Structure 1
């Protein structure tokens, strides 16, 4: 079940007058807190933070600003156990985060929004407590099987920094081998969080989203 908490404007880093705070209840009865900025359109891109992050980390805020400046609506939210959302933080939590994302998309569809893309970042690194259950979930995740299950109708785009020491660039190439619709863009010199390459990251994400919209028949957007 999903429901909005309020329609008051958020005093968040984006300073957008049209950004509204929303609470969505996931399948476990936990509240997921998000910020919705439709910028006058029903087309929405969902932004997902990385491990131990939140909807307000600078990378997600930068992407939100870049997309809305191009007239692309966004919804950014905290996964359960992170940020303002309810629930307990877990080390792996992939399946539950997929459930959270499903609840978000379902809510947006119910509100008549058209989800055009989902953009996510990493799973991060920081000090945390690891349970045996969550560790085994992570170790037993079959990425090859998960990759093979992605529909051929789903476009998959990866941006990766050549200087990423948390997740080697080779992993991105290996990942792409198992997804026929995968496209990889490498940003030279960028680290895991694109610390000195935020504009290149934003430009890449905006480019692929506007390109896909143009391919879908939006005549107001340039073809590449």
Structure 2
């Protein structure tokens, strides 16, 4: 299901039209393997090449840096697709804490959909939890030549206390769930024991070591990331065979004040061999 939502014209550096191609943004709805509808925005350039952009936990396709990255890819003439995982944003389904493998299967459904209509997936990009998801995808499906992990967490046993509290294991074993509230006391989401165990049992070291050596991986991390320490980026660098690491000085977890620099790093990596999306590893 495809709906046209907006269109724009590419401009030259001085703001004048220079035989501009028409860029379209189209809302696309497609099913995952559980019959849930996934909703995304296709930045259409007319190119057969396509980059897929994945968001992080409790985020959506419409937040930074997903929108900025998709627009940056569009501006170099490659189409981009940013979408909401099941249970997030506009997509159907229930939000689940953990859920890394299932989200990798959502990504699989997206990739298979676009391949089925003749697109060549050149790169998959994930931010935060999405970074883990694209790496997990690459560890299982050896059919994407470039993977970009932005602000992903290497050790998934860490970072849980900040959301659930220090005694989270005792509480969830006792009650079977933990409710998470925001700073103003508003309920945000429920963490079940099953979903917590899903996160704790997801082995990123094993996944990284299972990525095919012909798959090129870029990890980008901010030096001032307060949610996921920059040391996690160093662990990815140690455990992925064909890996490039870029630390952006001064950047936070979302690269709030460093969107242009992040886009430059990502585009440089994509440009290296943008036609590799047709390759089979």
TM-score over 0.5 (shorter chain): yes
Larger fraction in strand: 2
Partner of 2:85: 79
2:271 pairs with 1:205: no
Partner of 2:172: none
2:218 pairs with 1:157: yes
Partner of 2:97: 91
Between stretches 123-132 and 70-79, larger displacement belongs to 123-132
Aligned mate of 2:73, from 62, 67, 72: 67
1:137-216 alignment, distance < 5 Å: 137-213=198-274
User: Matched residues in 1 for 2:72 and 2:269: separation?
Assistant: 13
Partner of 1:219: none
For the 8 Å contact 2:23–2:44, the answer to whether it is kept is: no
User: Matched residues in 2 for 1:50 and 1:209: separation?
Assistant: 21
User: Matched residues in 2 for 1:142 and 1:165: separation?
Assistant: 22
For the 8 Å contact 1:10–1:20, the answer to whether it is kept is: yes
User: Matched residues in 1 for 2:257 and 2:212: separation?
Assistant: 34
**Aligned CA distance change for structure 1 residues 193 and 12 (closer, same or farther; 3 Å):** farther
CA-CA distance at 1:40 after TM superposition: 1.4
Q: C-alpha offsets along residues 179-219 of structure 1, whole Å, 9 cap, x if unaligned?
A: 111111010010101111111011111110011327x5xxx
SS of structure 2 residue aligned to 1:172: helix
CA-CA distance at 1:13 after TM superposition: 11
CA-CA distance at 1:156 after TM superposition: 0.7
Give unpaired runs (5+ residues) of structure 1.
217-224
User: Matched residues in 2 for 1:87 and 1:138: separation?
Assistant: 19
SS of structure 1 residue aligned to 2:30: strand
Partner of 2:135: none
For the 8 Å contact 1:163–1:189, the answer to whether it is kept is: yes
CA-CA distance at 1:105 after TM superposition: 0.3
CA-CA distance at 1:14 after TM superposition: 11
Alignment RMSD, CA only?
A: 2.2
Q: C-alpha offsets along residues 19-40 of structure 1, whole Å, 9 cap, x if unaligned?
A: 2111111110100011112301
**Aligned CA distance change for structure 1 residues 11 and 52 (closer, same or farther; 3 Å):** farther
1:119-138 alignment, distance < 5 Å: 119-123=125-129, 127-138=188-199
CA-CA distance at 1:17 after TM superposition: 4.8
Partner of 1:9: 4
For the 8 Å contact 1:14–1:65, the answer to whether it is kept is: no
